[in-house]
Each structure stands twice: as C-alpha cells, then as structure tokens.
C-alpha cells in the first residue's frame, strides 16, 4: 500500500490491501457473468452481517445519506415520524423529536410516553452518533416500540455501526438499517447499503400514493436486487462495479468468522481504548460505558489545547484523527475511529500508533495528565 | 493491468492504468488537505471538458441516473416538459414527448411546432441514445429552443456523450448536461456528473416551492461544490474519495490537450469503424452519417446470426460487446463502444481487436459478406 497517514477517523477507515486491489479491477461490464455472482453474493453477505435470514438488502451507488432518501418509499403525506435524535426528513412527514443531553440518550420512559400519545409510522434512531460516539440501545428501543405499537417501523441509522456494533436485525425486530461502505464495512465511500425487513417491504408495497422520487425508488431497485441475488443481470442504473468488487472482498473477510467474534473484538479494543483515555486524564463525550460506541470514541480536549494544534500534531506523526462536529462544541473535542482491520488485525498496530502519537502530541502541547 | 476481456461496450469503457491505480488510493479523509484540491480541480476540469467558463458542475456519489433525479431542483408542480426522446420524470411535471423512428431523430420543424403550442419549462434531449447510437444535433436544438423560447431550459442527457462528442456548453447555450463517470470520462462507475448553466441555477434559486428531495437537493450540494472549488473542505455526505481521485487522473489526461483534438479523434475512429461495418456488408442502426454517435455504434445483425451466438463468440476471443436494448428489437442488433483510451491511444489496438474478432466471429457463424 502507498505510504499515507493512518486514517483513524470515524470513517473512511483503513482499507485492507485486498479491498484496495479489488477497487482497481479492470473494466468489467455490469452484466458480465463474472460480475453477476459478485453482486449477488454481496447482497447475501450484507444480510449475514446484520444477522438476518429474510431482510432485503439494497446496495446502490451513493453515499450513506442516500439511505435516508430511500425512506421516501415508506412515507406518505402526513405520516408521523418520531425521531430519537435528529430528523432528516422532507417528503411531507411530520417529525416529532425526542432529544437528550450531549453524551447521553433519550430514556425508555420518554419513548414509551411519546408512543402512547400518537400513532407513529416510524421511529428513527441513530445507532452510533458519529458526532459524539454515543451508542443507542437499539435492542431495547425496538422492543419498546414493537410492544407498544407493533405496526410502527424501527428505522436505524447504522452508518457508523454496521460491521462494528452488534446488530441482530431479525431477533431485535428492526425494520430498516441504513449504512454505507466506508465505515465498519471497510470499503471506500460510494455505496449506500440499506437493509429492509419484510414488514418494511410490506409497508412499501401497500402504500396508496406514488413514490415521489426517481433515484431512490424501490420500484426501480427491488427488481435489480432480486435479479442479481438470483444470479441474473438486470438494469436500472449501472452499478459501481469496482466498489462492489471491493465490498465483496471486504464482506468475504468479515463473514469468514462468526459476527459475534467481530462484535466482541470491537468491544474489547474500544473498552481498552477508553481506559487509555481515562489513564491520560481525559474524558469521553459518551457519559457511560454502555452508551459508548465500540467503533469510535469522542474525547473532550484538555484545557488549553485546541483542535488546530492537536490534529496537525498527530498528522505530522502520520495519524489522521478528526475534530468535533457538534454545533457549538466542535472545537471542544476530537474523534478517533477504531473499526475494521485496525481492530481485527492488531498486528497492524494501528491502535497502538494512535495511542502513542496522541500521548506524545499531548505532551508536546504542554499537557500534563 | 490484470488480464481481462476488453470491455468494448458503450460503457463502462476501458480504464487507463493511472485511473485504476487512483482507484486504490489508500484511506484518505474527505477533508484531508491532500484530497481537497483533487476534488476542487476535478470540478474545474469537468467545466473544461464541456468547454464552459461559467457552468456549475456537480460531482456526487451515484449513477448517471441520479442526474435526472436532480432535475427536481428545477421543476415545480405542473411545469411543462418537452421530451425529445423518452421522458423519465416524476415530480409533478407534465411531459409531452416528440418521438422519431428508430435510428433517426425528431425534426427541427416538429420541435418548432411543439414550442409554439405551449410554454415549456424545459426541453430534454438525449445527446447520444445508448440504445441505438443515434447522435442528436443538440447545437441546432438549443438554437431553436432559445430563439423561440429563451426562458426554456435545454437539458441534455450526455451520459454517453460527455468526453466523446463535441459539446460547447456556453456557445450552444445549453443549460444542463447530465453524465456519469464510466463512459467518455473513462472512470469506473459510481459518480454522477451534472453541469448547470447560470440560467439553470437562477431557475433553481428563484423557485417558489420547496425541493421535494433530500439526496438530490442542490441546497445541500451547491455549497459543497463551491467550497471544494475554493479549496475548502465541506460536508454534506462523504464523497467517493477514491472515485474522485480516479476522475481527477482521467480528467487530467483528457484536458492535457485541446478538447477539439479529442472530439476529432473520436470522429475519425468512429467514421472508420462505420466504414468497416459497411465493408462487412452490415448496417448501422443510425440511419445517416451525421446522426451517428462517435463513441459507440449499434449494428443490425445479419440474417441467421443471433446475439446469444455472436456475443459469446467475441467473448471467447477476449472482447466484450453488448447486445441491443431497444424494446422489441433487442435481439436484432449489437452495440460496440469506441470511447476514451480505446480511441485516443491507438497503440493499444483495441479497435483493431474488435474489428478482427468481429470479422472472425461472423465468419465462424457462417456469415458471408
């Protein structure tokens, strides 16, 4: 691999050599008999990553954000949406937002209360908030939603969690998980990856008003996914052949061992990383262990050290970390990603290098633990 | 480059080694100071490819098809659209279609007539119809539209023409050119490339109803393009970093010589290719020289030879060509792409190989010219 700064931000993450090699697959037709099974198997492996037997994956050229656009397939004018974090929607839906303090998450009681007041078409929740590293308990949330209002769909923003956090799509009764290629799935950015439950597909199929989107329209994409999964080519738009070869390479590695091993490895490394942060006398933005993400950590800056000092100090030592992105607090904390091969292949010493360069940089900037 | 079938379909086309190498750029943050100018310069070079000084390019993760979705930024409920070929729209627009026979194009008189009957918000035209290889005279069409109805926007589907056909965006008064990465631009699929005129941007800015799309919304993308062009990072959705490195590599090669040289080269090679087709006793689907695309050719199959014979015969000799895709006629013709490095770098002998394997395959299948 070409020499480069270690990319230890909460995505894009470091890519395996095999994944990068797949990115430069020579020109291949999107209906080539060699490519068709690559796409088909990728669809199947996405299902495995979220531990589902029956969910429908969609793999479409676009960024993670496109996944939110696809929710247009489930929404009709006037539908009520309960957003446990930030709501993204247009498309005529009415949004109610349940907020929590920075670093914590809305309580289960607040959720129950909200659900009892109105009939919601969907509840949206961000599994890992990339801006703070807070992990939601999507299992408990889905349980609450489905016990109070079984028809309500549970929509999970899994952008920063698929591939790094435990997700049991079927068992937890999730309806949608939205993600993309460049985080826990370990593939360069450019693919939107969305997984839909049979219940969500049913809601989409039984809608009575037309879907007001062209590119995000499942009427276009569902037949394509079904075709490739049954190893037939089909055409709506040219798939990102090289990115799908890369996704295939990464998913093959990811699914070569039980997902539980991968979840556990991310838990172990992140827990150790948070301990290191505490040992340095620093505080994470997430306020408790169980609400801390396992694929990334946001850390408050110590007094007197600023982002424009710390980030370049690490960059000069060959490690890229990220600043904060929370409105009004962006300059107060930094973020580090620990996902994928940086975690599953400790022999690469990515995390060691982050800890070492962070420690040295803080010291250089005059910080005393 | 890994051994592979020569991909001589009307896109994806063959990629230069430098472009494929850029595809495997190691993990790089989308706000990395190394990446920011790569994105910024790519935006500038897209403008150069369509010979414009003032158009606004949009480079977004997605397929070519996403570009059509972006037309939502220009349309409001009830707007009239005149489609010179097939109309794609939803979004509340009313479509009038001007059709022509297979292999030919609607006449200028028919266009004038249509424009005189109604006020159209936009006229859409496919520059090269990928299904037939028919080239539209977008210069004449734009001239007619702007002389009869200057407020009407001229929207060009340039998916199979940008980078291989002459496009003079400013001089011809085009308003939108929609394209993608994997055809004349010579980059793997996964990027939507759209160019908008100041007049189109003005229509977008002066609309009075909200834009009913999230992912295609220029309110999100315009600030991103403006930021990267002025060499500042900005965030709406993570750009496809590796694809943009690849686009940069290809655009650098393309813009290293005057576009006229590239247009002429494509004209020369395609004209010679059509002569070869005639010499073989075959007929192109496009019915005249001036309505024949320069980046691809569709050819009627000779009596007694079928697509499931011809395409595999060439594949066995290491060349991938494409069947037809026109409803009802798909089995009657085949398509060959001649764009990008296959044309500009004759020392690769791509076209020679196509001609040779096509001639041999036809002979094997019992065809006598």
Residues 6 or more apart in contact with residue B264 via CB below 8 angstroms: none
Residue of chain A nearest B190, judged by CA positions:
A240
Asked if B190 and B303 sit in the same domain, the reply is no
- In this structure, are strands B333-337 and B296-300 parallel, antiparallel, or unpaired? antiparallel
Q: Are B6 and B350 in contact (CB under 8 A)?
A: yes
Inter-chain contact B69–A213, Cβ cutoff 8 Å?
yes
Q: Which of B26, B89, B182 sits opposite A4 (nearest CB)?
A: B26
| Phi and psi torsions of A108, nearest 5° | -60, -35
CATH classification at residue A262: 3.90.1150.10
Give the C-alpha separation, B130 to B179, whole Å: 12
Q: Hey, which bits of B127-200 come out as E strands?
A: 128-129, 134-135, 153-157, 176-180, 191-196
Inter-chain contact A12–B238, Cβ cutoff 8 Å?
yes
Is B142 inside a domain boundary?
yes
DSSP string, A190-246: -EEEEEE-HHHHHHHHT-SS----STT-HHHHHHHHHHHHTT----SS---HHHHHH
Inter-chain contact B2–A11, Cβ cutoff 8 Å?
no
Q: Are A158 and A185 in contact (CB under 8 A)?
A: no
Q: For the purposes of burial, counting CB atoms within 10 Å of the CB of B326, is it exposed (0-12), middle (13-18) or buried (19 or more)?
A: middle
Q: Structural domain tally of chain B?
A: 2
State the pLDDT at residue B87: 46
Q: Which of A15, A64, A66 sits opposite B27 (nearest CB)?
A: A15
Is B117 inside a domain boundary?
yes
Give the C-alpha separation, B166 to B267, whole Å: 9
- In this structure, are strands B122-126 and B56-61 parallel, antiparallel, or unpaired? unpaired
Best mutation target among A8, A19, A27, A245 (most B Cβ atoms within 10 Å) is A27
CATH classification at residue B219: 3.40.640.10
Question: Residues of chain A whose pLDDT is less than 70?
Answer: 1, 86-91
Give the C-alpha separation, A187 to A184, whole Å: 8
Q: Is B335 annotated as a binding residue?
A: yes
Q: Are B25 and B144 in contact (CB under 8 A)?
A: no
Q: Which of B13, B61, B238 sits opposite A27 (nearest CB)?
A: B13
Is B46 inside a domain boundary?
yes
Asked if B292 and B357 sit in the same domain, the reply is yes
**Which residues from chain A sit within 8 angstroms of residue B239, using beta carbons?**
63, 189
Cβ-count burial B224-263 (b if 16+ within 10 Å, e if not) = bbebbbeeebbebbbbbbbbbbbbbbbbebbbeeebeebb
Separation in Å, CA of A254 to nearest CA in chain B: 18
Q: Which of A26, A191, A213 sits opposite B4 (nearest CB)?
A: A26
Per-residue pLDDT of chain B (369 residues; tens, 9 = 90+): 677 999 999 999 999 999 999 999 999 999 999 999 999 999 999 999 999 999 999 999 999 999 999 999 999 999 999 999 754 555 678 888 888 888 778 889 999 999 999 999 999 999 999 999 999 999 999 999 999 999 999 999 999 999 999 999 999 999 999 999 999 999 999 999 999 999 999 999 999 999 988 999 999 999 999 999 999 999 899 999 999 999 999 999 999 999 999 999 999 999 999 999 999 999 999 999 999 999 999 999 999 999 999 999 999 999 999 999 888 898 999 999 999 999 999 999 999 999 999 999 999 999 987
Cβ-count burial A159-186 (b if 16+ within 10 Å, e if not) = bbbbbbbbbbbeebbbbbbbbbbbbbbb
Q: Are A225 and A58 in contact (CB under 8 A)?
A: yes
Asked if B248 and B277 sit in the same domain, the reply is no
Give the C-alpha separation, A87 to B183, whole Å: 37
Residues 6 or more apart in contact with residue A138 via CB below 8 angstroms: A125, A127, A154, A156, A167, A172, A174
Inter-chain contact A12–B20, Cβ cutoff 8 Å?
no
Asked if A50 and A170 sit in the same domain, the reply is yes
- In this structure, are strands A322-323 and A191-196 parallel, antiparallel, or unpaired? unpaired
Give the C-alpha separation, A98 to A284, whole Å: 23
B124: helix, coil or strand?
A: strand
Give the C-alpha separation, B225 to B222, whole Å: 5
Q: Are A343 and A335 in contact (CB under 8 A)?
A: no
Q: Before A12, cis peptide (omega within 30)? A: yes
Inter-chain contact B9–A23, Cβ cutoff 8 Å?
no
Look up the domain containing A325 and give its range.
6-12+258-364
**Which residues from chain B sit within 8 angstroms of residue A64, using beta carbons?**
237-238
Q: Which of the listed residues A211, A232, A254 is the one where a domain comes to its end?
A: A254
Is B313 inside a domain boundary?
yes
**Which residues from chain B sit within 8 angstroms of residue A61, using beta carbons?**
61-63, 66, 189-190, 192
Asked if B100 and B144 sit in the same domain, the reply is yes
Is A202 inside a domain boundary?
yes
Inter-chain contact B90–A29, Cβ cutoff 8 Å?
no
Inter-chain contact B214–A5, Cβ cutoff 8 Å?
no
**Which residues from chain B sit within 8 angstroms of residue A32, using beta carbons?**
5, 320
Asked if B45 and B192 sit in the same domain, the reply is yes
Q: Which of A213, A238, A320 sits opposite B64 (nearest CB)?
A: A238
Give the C-alpha separation, B288 to B161, whole Å: 18
Please, where are the H alpha helices in chain A? Answer: 17-23, 35-49, 64-69, 108-117, 138-148, 198-205, 218-229, 241-254, 259-279, 307-316, 341-344, 350-364
Distances (CA, A) of B135 to B139, B241, B321: 11, 33, 20
- In this structure, are strands B153-157 and B176-180 parallel, antiparallel, or unpaired? parallel
Asked if A214 and A309 sit in the same domain, the reply is no
Asked if B180 and B311 sit in the same domain, the reply is no
B128: helix, coil or strand?
A: strand
Q: Which of B88, B237, B325 sits opposite A214 (nearest CB)?
A: B88
State the pLDDT at residue B88: 53
Is A313 inside a domain boundary?
yes
Asked if A230 and A262 sit in the same domain, the reply is no
- The annotated binding site of A is made up of 335
State the pLDDT at residue A87: 46
**Which residues from chain B sit within 8 angstroms of residue A190, using beta carbons?**
61, 190-191, 240, 242-243
Asked if A95 and A124 sit in the same domain, the reply is yes
Give the C-alpha separation, B114 to B108, whole Å: 10
Residue of chain B nearest A241, judged by CA positions:
B189
CB pairs under 8 A between A and B: 195
Give the C-alpha separation, B57 to A46, whole Å: 34
How big is the CA angle at B255 (ends B36 and B233), to the nearest 5 degrees?
10
Q: Which of the listed residues B254, B275, B292 is the one where a domain comes to its end?
A: B254
Give the C-alpha separation, A11 to A159, whole Å: 9
B196: helix, coil or strand?
A: strand
Give the C-alpha separation, B14 to B344, whole Å: 12
Q: Are B94 and B79 in contact (CB under 8 A)?
A: yes
Is B249 inside a domain boundary?
yes
Asked if A201 and A235 sit in the same domain, the reply is yes
Asked if B37 and B50 sit in the same domain, the reply is yes
Residue A284 has what DSSP assignment? B
Give the C-alpha separation, B12 to A145, whole Å: 45
Sign of the torsion formed by the C-alpha atoms of B322, B327, B328 and B329: negative
User: How far apart are the two ends of chain A, measured CA to CA in Å?
Assistant: 36
Q: Are A342 and A14 in contact (CB under 8 A)?
A: yes
To which residue do tokens 């250089």 refer? A364
Separation in Å, CA of A109 to nearest CA in chain B: 31
ipTM confidence = 0.96
Distances (CA, A) of B72 to A74, B97, B250, B313: 20, 19, 29, 44
What is the H or E stretch that residue B221 is in?
helix B218-229
Reading the block at residue B30, the tokens are 């989308």
Reading the block at residue B361, the tokens are 């395959």
Residue of chain A nearest B1, judged by CA positions:
A26
**Which residues from chain B sit within 8 angstroms of residue A23, using beta carbons?**
23-24, 242
Inter-chain contact A65–B237, Cβ cutoff 8 Å?
yes
Separation in Å, CA of A356 to nearest CA in chain B: 20
Inter-chain contact A188–B241, Cβ cutoff 8 Å?
yes
Is B1 inside a domain boundary?
no
Q: Which of the listed residues B198, B226, B254 is the one where a domain comes to its end?
A: B254
Inter-chain contact B28–A12, Cβ cutoff 8 Å?
yes
**Which residues from chain A sit within 8 angstroms of residue B216, using beta carbons?**
69, 215
């Amino acid at each position: 691999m070409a020499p480069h700064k270690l990319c230890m931000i909460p995505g894009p993450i470091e890519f395996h050599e095999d994944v990068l090699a797949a990115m430069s697959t020579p020109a291949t037709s999107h209906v080539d008999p060699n490519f068709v099974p690559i796409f088909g198997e990728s669809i199947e492996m996405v299902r495995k990553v979220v531990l589902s037997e029956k969910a429908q994956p969609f793999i479409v050229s676009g960024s993670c954000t496109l996944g939110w656009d696809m929710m247009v397939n489930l929404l009709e004018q006037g539908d009520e949406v309960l957003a446990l974090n930030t709501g993204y929607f247009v498309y005529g839906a009415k949004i109610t937002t349940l907020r929590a303090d920075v670093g914590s998450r809305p309580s289960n009681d607040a959720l129950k209360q909200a659900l009892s007041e109105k009939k919601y078409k969907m509840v949206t929740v961000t599994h890992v908030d990339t801006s703070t590293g807070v992990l939601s308990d999507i299992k408990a949330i889905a349980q609450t939603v489905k016990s109070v209002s079984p028809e309500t769909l549970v929509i999970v923003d899994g952008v920063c969690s698929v591939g790094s956090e435990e997700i049991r799509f079927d068992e937890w009764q999730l309806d949608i998980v939205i993600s993309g290629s460049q985080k826990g799935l370990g593939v360069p950015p450019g693919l939107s990856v969305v997984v839909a439950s049979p219940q969500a597909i049913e809601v989409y199929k039984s809608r009575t008003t037309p879907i007001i989107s062209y590119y995000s329209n499942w009427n276009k994409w569902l037949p394509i996914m079904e075709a490739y999964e049954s190893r037939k080519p089909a055409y709506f738009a040219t798939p990102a052949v090289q990115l799908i070869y890369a996704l295939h390479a990464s998913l093959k590695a990811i699914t070569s061992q039980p997902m539980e091993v991968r979840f556990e490895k991310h838990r172990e490394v992140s827990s150790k990383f948070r301990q290191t942060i505490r040992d340095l006398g620093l505080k994470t933005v997430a306020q408790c262990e169980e609400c801390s993400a396992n694929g990334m950590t946001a850390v408050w800056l110590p007094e007197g050290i600023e982002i424009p000092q710390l980030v370049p100090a690490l960059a000069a030592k060959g490690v890229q970390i990220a600043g904060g992105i929370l409105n009004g607090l962006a300059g107060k904390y930094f973020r580090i990603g620990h996902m994928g091969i940086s975690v599953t292949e400790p022999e690469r010493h990515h995390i060691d290098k982050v800890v070492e360069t962070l420690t040295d940089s803080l010291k250089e900037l005059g910080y005393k633990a």
